[in-house]
Chain A
Amino acid sequence: MSLPSLLGFVVTGLQAHPLCENVAVIETRAFSPDQFFLKVRAELPDSHRLQVRIYFNRGHTDYAYQLFTTEPLLRWDNKEEFRHLPSFPHHYHDDKGNVLPSLLNGNAIVDLQIVLTEISGYFLRRAHGG
């Protein structure tokens, strides 16, 4: 997937979600069609923000989806740590400091929807005092 098509997909996916507002492309950096980086942010309720970072380099993808306010809250990424997890290298940081298996697999088309579903759950739990 090229930078324009991936960027278009991420921006459209965020814009289409009811929790997301004011989607902004913060940064793109491209060397070639198979080596590029993008950073996109969306505003969510109660001063929350979701940041999507994807770095694609010749078939390898590094990604991070992070929900934050003034501090990081939830994060999905595939930095190669936490080898004990069955989903290695894909993992999920919760807001209590736990690192857990992740359903993401580096395919942004699938991953973004999973992240948005998980974040919807986070807001629901928050609304119910969980």
Chain B
Amino acid sequence: MTVSSVLEPLIKRQLFANQDAAVRELTRDYILRHIEELSKRIRQFETQHGMTFGRFDEYLRERSALLASPELDDVQRRILGQAIMQEEDDWLEWKADREILESWLGIQQEVKN
């Protein structure tokens, strides 16, 4: 199966003017799909935690400092420790989503130019 044979049915039905136009638009759609999916996940994290990633990073830093302090009793430490484990999990996925989104945005720019 060649590129031409894949695109031919689309061009024959005049969905695209030619192969170049088809490849350009399909590539842009492919990139946009990834960007939209990652943006949606990032918005979900922002809604779930009620803050931006930058603020969440600061918040988690404050919580981690509190966990390391001697002021907590055993129950408080266990509860806070569990909460931080969960929050660190979100932090990791959120960070990955943001950085992978940046990469897709970069390639979108390259394709535009």
* Interface positions of A (Cβ within 8 A of B): 29, 31-32, 35, 37, 39, 51, 53, 55, 57, 62, 64, 66, 71-72, 75, 77, 79, 81-82, 84, 93-99
| Residues B96 and A32 in contact, CB atoms below 8 Å apart | no
**A75 interface neighbour in B64, B74, B88, Cβ under 8 Å:** B88
**A32 interface neighbour in B64, B80, B88, B103, Cβ under 8 Å:** B103
Give B86 Cβ to nearest chain A Cβ, in Å. Answer: 6
Q: What secondary structure prevails in chain A residues at the interface with B? A: strand
For A82, what are the chain B residues with a Cβ–Cβ distance below 8 Å?
Answer: 64, 68
Number of residue pairs spanning A and B whose beta carbons lie under 8 angstroms apart: 76
For A71, what are the chain B residues with a Cβ–Cβ distance below 8 Å?
Answer: 82
Q: Given that A29-B100, A95-B78, A97-B78 are known contacts, is A53 also in contact with B85, CB under 8 Å in the complex?
A: no
Give Cα distance in the complex from A19 to B93, angstroms: 26
Give Cα distance in the complex from A35 to B34, angstroms: 14
B43 contacts the other chain (CB 8 A): no
For A75, what are the chain B residues with a Cβ–Cβ distance below 8 Å?
Answer: 85, 88
